[in-house]
Chain A
Amino acid sequence: MKVPLSWLKDFVDINVDIQTLCDKMVRIGLEIEEVKYLGENVTNVKVCCIRQIEQHPNAERLLCCKVDIGGEIIPIVTNDHHVKVGDKVPVALHGADLANGMHITKGKMRGEESWGMFCGAEELGINSDMYPNADIDGVLVLDPNAKVGEDIRAEVGIDDYVLDIDVTANRQDCNSVLGIAREVAVAIGTTCHEPNIDYTEYDTPTQSLVSVDVDASDICRGYYMQGVTDVTIAKSPVWLTSRLAKVGLHGINNIVDITNYVLYEIGQPMHAFDHNDISGHRIIVRRAANDEKIILLDEKEYALQNSDLVIADRNRAIGLAGIMGGENSEIKESTTYVLFESASFSRMNVRRTGHRLGVRSDSSARFEKGIDTYTNNLGLSRALHLVEQLGCGKVTRGRISIGEVAASKEIVFDKRRIAKLLGIKIPDERVVSILGALNIHAELDGNTLRCLIPPYRDDIVRDCDIVEEVIRVYGYDNIKGTLMPKTQITCGGKTVEDERIDSLKNVLNGMGYNECIFYPFAGKALFDKASISPVDENDYIKVINPIGEELSMMNLSLAPNMLQCVALNLSRKNANLRLFEVGKVYLSEELPLVELPYEQRRLSVCATDIDFDTFRSNILQTVRSATDKNVRSVRSSCNILHPGISADMLIEGAMVGSFGKLHPQIAANFDIDTDCWYAEIYLDKLFDHARGEIKYEPFAKFPSISRDFALLCDEEVAAQDVLNEFMTLPLVESAELFDVYRDEKLGVGKKSLAITVIFRDRNKTLQDSDIEKQSGKALRTLKEKYNVVLREQ
């Protein structure tokens, strides 16, 4: 919301400098985005009066002038032949800076002294909305009453600030100069004068010009209309257009400018209809017919539907309620009768229609935030006052009012609620006076506080809103920090799952891996590169309004983003990559989603410049840190990994993840030209087998017996499977591989596994016969399953 300081001063006396004003505004909740001094690029330019003009002796196109700059006469050379003796014009003196970037210095022009330069409107950064005749090329001839020697900025109205204020979404009333003025008055402790809304009504009754029916009162709470006869369409005076210019609008004609002026000043979007264009002199506020067409003031045609609200005459729609007027009823040079509309349209309806049709306006922006019927009437009266002030025509008698005008509402509550919520005690008188300054009439009766809320404060609905009003004016600096002295004891901490994740991260950190965080979505191209794509594009959970396709599909794997990151790091010559991410993939049975998907937490780990054994041991160490169960490796079928150099990890038959060398094709897709190792672990599955609560167990009383076996088997047989076979025996405590031996004597494609098995019975000392029985069973099974045999010694 842009507010010129000069406009604000119409309503509130400002007795502090601009910096203090802004600070105080911020402290009560008006965030200042920008403070712009309009004259900041125009310095050392004064009003001068031309005393003498002579032809330049050496140049036909130049004139030599003597000008009065207030007690001093100086020479100025100009090429503008329109200037006359006695004209008052702006002169840029030595050292002046101008709005177009020019810097002026004293000098000689073709041998004649010139101590400066006359300025045109452009050099001062103004246009004809801001100063009369500013549209004429050449030197700007000023008002004869301009004060010689005065700074030009005051004369042309740019000795002014424009505050750009970020109004919070609840304060629709502050989307207006008046609303800001009310707040400023509270902030600096002065009073705000309400705008002048006096006007004289002439004989023509409004009712005789038009009748109004509201057929959709559910989405039009109030509709007010009054007319102007004997209208003279003309240009608005500069004081008015200059204000509009400062908030970024152009002057159009007096009637339209008045509606814009009221929009900014009061916050009431108004519309002016040409009475002649209203067929049957009847206005109907109704829902549009499906596929009804309308051409709006932006000259575009829109197809409406039944949920849209239109202003119509007997035959057709003449405006899209709250958004924009129709081209068919706009104010023209020839307009003689005007009808002003001021209404409350449902903010939801305006928002929906505006969004659907892609059309927004200053009006709809305000309607979307909500306008009350009190402001409707204030705005309409203010417009009629301006009509009279500008002499545009005669106001008609009486107002067509449909809908109840909002009255002040009452909120009653226990005043102790204020201290209870804030934690500090504010004296009663102070509470009442703060509320009074905000136009909230407050009365205390014992502990009961009765507050009358002004109708334009839609945002105040209950006691806590009043508390906020009080404290924001009383000052948040009065709130002193306490650390919940009266709270009950609660048991804090992370979830077990989060603690487990922290442990995994710690293990990975210890082995040199660095944590990454990626966006949990990517584009189809990236998923394709990683061969993650499901067959059907619809099998993704997709963002329907993404910033771009590359940020549209929710993760089905952590690999695409990780591999892209590896490629980026490699392209920047970062070697020895050790990266991991704890992220999520989003899994759903049914697409499009009807309920929330399962968010599976996963761990991805990636490394370069490492060998298989080290990477495998890193991954297993990580996995084993989380579980005390046996982790079995089987050959992986994961299609992003090298089929011969990769494994799936299983715990009690459940797949908990895969690791291995990145498939060379995938590596090529990502331009990864070094060996890259990747693992992805399903944390939910892993944590299903997490270590349990810590509970001390006494040591075994009976001794263990260790036996070594040399087993001959095919190269294909995984050592882990062999060990597992021993591990299934009830008396086996552990089984570990300590050597793998290959030799021609063993045969081609054969290897010998040397393993140590530790046997223990918790209840008695083991006998050799027990061990023979147990290991014999394992060896028989191994022979059957994998053709593993005990090697001849």
Chain B
Amino acid sequence: MTIAEIKSLFEADISNCASLAELQELKVKYLGKSGLLTSLLKSIKNLPAQERPTFGAKVNELRNEMESRFADKAVLLKSSEMQRRLQEERVDISLTDCPSRGALHPVTLIENRIGELMTALGFEVLSGPEIETDYYNFEALNIPYDHPARDMQDTFYITDSILLRTQTSAMQARVMEHRKPPLKILCPGKVFRSDSDASHSPVFHQIEGLVVDKNITLCDLKGTLEYIAAHLFGPQTKVRFRPSFFPFTEPSVEVDLTCSNCGGTGCSLCKGTGWIEVLGAGMVNPFVLENCGIDSKKYSGYAFGIGVERVAMIKYGIPDIRLFYENDQRFLKQFAK
């Protein structure tokens, strides 16, 4: 065949080629070891010597053109094959049955949130034993046996001197006995009181905060609580102190926050007062410091005890403390985030 014949045959073949496999076959047909063009080139030896360079150049030209055309065609075919596959491959996208994310218990959510806030201020989060000695729960906190303050907390006893802790404050002396200031401690956990009705549960959660260092003041206590309140209930939340009494703090205060429901104008949640009582706090009583071998002239501190369920009830609008311990899955699932 002549160059011209091969060329015209190639044009026909390549335009009819519909797949990469066919294209490969064509490559062999024209450019393979015994392909048309290769055979043509082999026939060069039959030509007169002076015609050979011209003929060789023409064949090479054709070869280059073919190779370039093969490459172009390959791109074209690949792209159309991809299109075809994309058209053909189809799944039913409606069937996506996967479990929704589970939730943390609201008590954990509040504990974690306050934990994050306080660790950012340099607080360590520790947990103490739930079955506690009378000493740490009472004596070390300036509540000797027969002190009327014991009546403030109905206590579950295991033996005469071992009890279920009534307050996470029991961790105060445990920490301070072994470690010296500066101390910034947060202690969340279960506490136990032997009363139970619509607003009381025999088991509930507290978060104890304790700071002991030089130069700690009541203003610092207020600032810390304002910091927590702002993050939990919004930056407009105000903190109010009212005088109170706890044997292990002096001065002692009850802490109210502006009602998150009405913003302080008065509603049914805050019984019209605009304020909601959320925790007790105060400056660590020097007796407690000295009892743990900390110089109360040099160091001062503050402590607070937050009722976790109380905060969760306000924040999430939970009406009854018993819901926390019923663990109905419809309740639990609402706290997924």
Q: A578-B99, A596-B131 are in contact. Are A484 and B223 (CB under 8 A)?
A: yes
Contacting residues, chain B, for A517 (C-beta < 8 A):
105, 107-108, 324-325, 327
Which of these, A370, A462, A482, A492, contacts B219 with CB under 8 Å?
A482
Q: A420-B300, A483-B224, A518-B327 are in contact. Are A492 and B105 (CB under 8 A)?
A: no
Q: Is there an interface contact between A468 and B243, defined as CB atoms closer than 8 Å? A: yes
Q: A-facing mask of B210-238, CB < 8 A → 1, else 0?
A: 01011111111011111100000000000
Q: Is there an interface contact between A519 and B332, defined as CB atoms closer than 8 Å? A: no
For residue A357, CB closer than 8 A to chain B, the reply is no
Question: Quick one: which of A499-516 are within 8 Å of B by CB?
Answer: 502, 505, 508-516
Question: Quick one: which of A534-593 are within 8 Å of B by CB?
Answer: 541-547, 551, 554, 565, 568-569, 572, 574, 577-580, 584, 586, 592-593
Q: Is there an interface contact between B108 and A482, defined as CB atoms closer than 8 Å? A: no
Q: Is there an interface contact between B218 and A479, defined as CB atoms closer than 8 Å? A: yes
User: Residue among A368, A369, A490, A498 with the most chain B CB within 10 A?
Assistant: A490
Q: Is there an interface contact between B329 and A545, defined as CB atoms closer than 8 Å? A: no
Q: Is there an interface contact between A420 and B217, defined as CB atoms closer than 8 Å? A: yes
For residue B61, CB closer than 8 A to chain A, the reply is no
Closest residue of chain A to B146, judged by CB? Answer: A348
For residue B15, CB closer than 8 A to chain A, the reply is no
Distance between Cα atoms of A459 and B152 in the complex (Å): 17
Closest residue of chain A to B300, judged by CB? Answer: A421
Which of these, B125, B184, B211, B336, contacts A495 with CB under 8 Å?
B125
Question: Quick one: which of B100-138 are within 8 Å of A by CB?
Answer: 100-105, 107-108, 112, 115, 118-127, 129-133
Contacting residues, chain A, for B184 (C-beta < 8 A):
487, 490, 492
Q: B-facing mask of A643-669, CB < 8 A → 1, else 0?
A: 000000000000000000000000000
Contacting residues, chain B, for A514 (C-beta < 8 A):
102-103, 105, 329, 332-333, 336
Q: Interface segment, A168-176, A255-263, A337-345, A749-757?
A: A168-176
Q: A488-B213, A542-B158 are in contact. Are A479 and B283 (CB under 8 A)?
A: no
Which of these, A486, A569, A593, contacts B162 with CB under 8 Å?
A593
Q: How far is the CB of A100 from chain B (nearest CB, A)?
A: 28
Distance between Cα atoms of A490 and B213 in the complex (Å): 10
Q: A-facing mask of B181-219, CB < 8 A → 1, else 0?
A: 011100000100011100000110000000101111111
Q: Is there an interface contact between A423 and B217, defined as CB atoms closer than 8 Å? A: yes
For residue A599, CB closer than 8 A to chain B, the reply is yes
Q: Is there an interface contact between A593 and B220, defined as CB atoms closer than 8 Å? A: no
For residue A698, CB closer than 8 A to chain B, the reply is no
Q: How far is the CB of B185 from chain A (nearest CB, A)?
A: 9
Q: Is there an interface contact between B156 and A546, defined as CB atoms closer than 8 Å? A: yes
Q: Is there an interface contact between B243 and A487, defined as CB atoms closer than 8 Å? A: no
For residue B151, CB closer than 8 A to chain A, the reply is yes
Contacting residues, chain A, for B182 (C-beta < 8 A):
487-490
Contacting residues, chain A, for B195 (C-beta < 8 A):
547
Q: Is there an interface contact between B107 and A482, defined as CB atoms closer than 8 Å? A: no
Which of these, A464, A480, A599, contacts B250 with CB under 8 Å?
A464
Q: Is there an interface contact between A515 and B332, defined as CB atoms closer than 8 Å? A: yes
Closest residue of chain B to A355, judged by CB? Answer: B146
Q: How far is the CB of B230 from chain A (nearest CB, A)?
A: 10
Closest residue of chain B to A508, judged by CB? Answer: B102
Q: Is there an interface contact between A512 and B283, defined as CB atoms closer than 8 Å? A: no
Which of these, A471, A492, A569, A578, contacts B328 with CB under 8 Å?
A569
Distance between Cα atoms of A577 and B214 in the complex (Å): 52
For residue A467, CB closer than 8 A to chain B, the reply is yes
Question: Quick one: which of B252-279 are within 8 Å of A by CB?
Answer: 252-254
Contacting residues, chain B, for A467 (C-beta < 8 A):
250-251
For residue B244, CB closer than 8 A to chain A, the reply is yes
Q: Is there an interface contact between B119 and A493, defined as CB atoms closer than 8 Å? A: yes
The total of Cβ contacts below 8 Å across the A-B interface reads 262
Q: Is there an interface contact between B251 and A464, defined as CB atoms closer than 8 Å? A: yes
Distance between Cα atoms of A542 and B163 in the complex (Å): 10
For residue A299, CB closer than 8 A to chain B, the reply is no
For residue A481, CB closer than 8 A to chain B, the reply is yes
Q: Is there an interface contact between A481 and B194, defined as CB atoms closer than 8 Å? A: no
Distance between Cα atoms of A168 and B280 in the complex (Å): 13
Q: B-facing mask of A452-470, CB < 8 A → 1, else 0?
A: 0000000000101101100
Contacting residues, chain B, for A16 (C-beta < 8 A):
none
Q: Is there an interface contact between B102 and A543, defined as CB atoms closer than 8 Å? A: no
Q: How far is the CB of B266 from chain A (nearest CB, A)?
A: 13
Q: Is there an interface contact between A421 and B100, defined as CB atoms closer than 8 Å? A: no
Q: How far is the CB of B280 from chain A (nearest CB, A)?
A: 11
For residue A300, CB closer than 8 A to chain B, the reply is no
Q: Is there an interface contact between A509 and B329, defined as CB atoms closer than 8 Å? A: no
Which of these, B194, B220, B244, B283, contacts A484 with CB under 8 Å?
B220
For residue A81, CB closer than 8 A to chain B, the reply is no
Q: Is there an interface contact between B131 and A545, defined as CB atoms closer than 8 Å? A: no
Q: How far is the CB of B101 from chain A (nearest CB, A)?
A: 6
Q: Is there an interface contact between A462 and B105, defined as CB atoms closer than 8 Å? A: no
Contacting residues, chain A, for B328 (C-beta < 8 A):
568-569, 572, 574
Closest residue of chain A to B239, judged by CB? Answer: A481
For residue A399, CB closer than 8 A to chain B, the reply is no
Contacting residues, chain B, for A512 (C-beta < 8 A):
99-102
Interface of B is mostly: mixed
Which of these, A351, A369, A489, A544, contacts B122 with CB under 8 Å?
A489
Contacting residues, chain B, for A488 (C-beta < 8 A):
182, 213-214
For residue B70, CB closer than 8 A to chain A, the reply is no
Q: Is there an interface contact between A492 and B245, defined as CB atoms closer than 8 Å? A: no
Q: A490-B184, A515-B104 are in contact. Are A579 and B329 (CB under 8 A)?
A: yes
For residue B326, CB closer than 8 A to chain A, the reply is yes
User: Residue among A471, A542, A543, A547 with the most chain B CB within 10 A?
Assistant: A543
For residue A520, CB closer than 8 A to chain B, the reply is yes
Q: How far is the CB of A218 from chain B (nearest CB, A)?
A: 14
Q: A-facing mask of B130-158, CB < 8 A → 1, else 0?
A: 11110000000000011111011000111
Contacting residues, chain A, for B124 (C-beta < 8 A):
490-495
Question: Quick one: which of A572-630 are within 8 Å of B by CB?
Answer: 572, 574, 577-580, 584, 586, 592-593, 596-597, 599
Q: How far is the CB of B120 from chain A (nearest CB, A)?
A: 7
Contacting residues, chain A, for B332 (C-beta < 8 A):
514-516, 579
Contacting residues, chain A, for B283 (C-beta < 8 A):
421, 464
Which of these, A368, A423, A472, contacts B220 with CB under 8 Å?
A423
Q: Is there an interface contact between B158 and A544, defined as CB atoms closer than 8 Å? A: yes
Q: Is there an interface contact between B252 and A541, defined as CB atoms closer than 8 Å? A: no
Q: Interface segment, A24-32, A200-208, A728-736, A769-777?
A: A24-32
Q: How far is the CB of A409 from chain B (nearest CB, A)?
A: 17
Q: Is there an interface contact between A596 and B108, defined as CB atoms closer than 8 Å? A: no
For residue B173, CB closer than 8 A to chain A, the reply is no
Q: How far is the CB of A118 from chain B (nearest CB, A)?
A: 38
Which of these, A27, A168, A543, contacts B158 with CB under 8 Å?
A543
Closest residue of chain B to A575, judged by CB? Answer: B329
For residue A476, CB closer than 8 A to chain B, the reply is yes
Contacting residues, chain A, for B324 (C-beta < 8 A):
517
Q: A-facing mask of B47-64, CB < 8 A → 1, else 0?
A: 000000000000000000
Q: How far is the CB of A634 from chain B (nearest CB, A)?
A: 29
For residue B33, CB closer than 8 A to chain A, the reply is no
For residue A422, CB closer than 8 A to chain B, the reply is yes
Q: A487-B211, A493-B124, A546-B156 are in contact. Are A472 and B243 (CB under 8 A)?
A: yes
Q: Is there an interface contact between B131 and A492, defined as CB atoms closer than 8 Å? A: no
Which of these, A28, A464, A542, contacts B286 with CB under 8 Å?
A464
Distance between Cα atoms of A488 and B211 in the complex (Å): 11
Distance between Cα atoms of A476 and B222 in the complex (Å): 10
Q: Is there an interface contact between B219 and A481, defined as CB atoms closer than 8 Å? A: yes
Q: How far is the CB of B187 from chain A (nearest CB, A)?
A: 11
Contacting residues, chain B, for A489 (C-beta < 8 A):
122, 182
Q: A421-B218, A481-B222, A514-B329 are in contact. Are A490 and B102 (CB under 8 A)?
A: no
5 CB < 8 A contacts A-B: A479-B222, A510-B102, A516-B327, A547-B195, A551-B202
9 additional A-B pairs beyond A462-B286, A511-B102, A546-B156, beta carbons within 8 Å, are: A27-B243, A348-B146, A423-B217, A483-B223, A493-B119, A516-B332, A543-B157, A547-B196, A596-B132
Give the 4 A-B CB pairs with smallest separation, nearest first. Answer: A423-B217, A512-B99, A29-B243, A423-B219
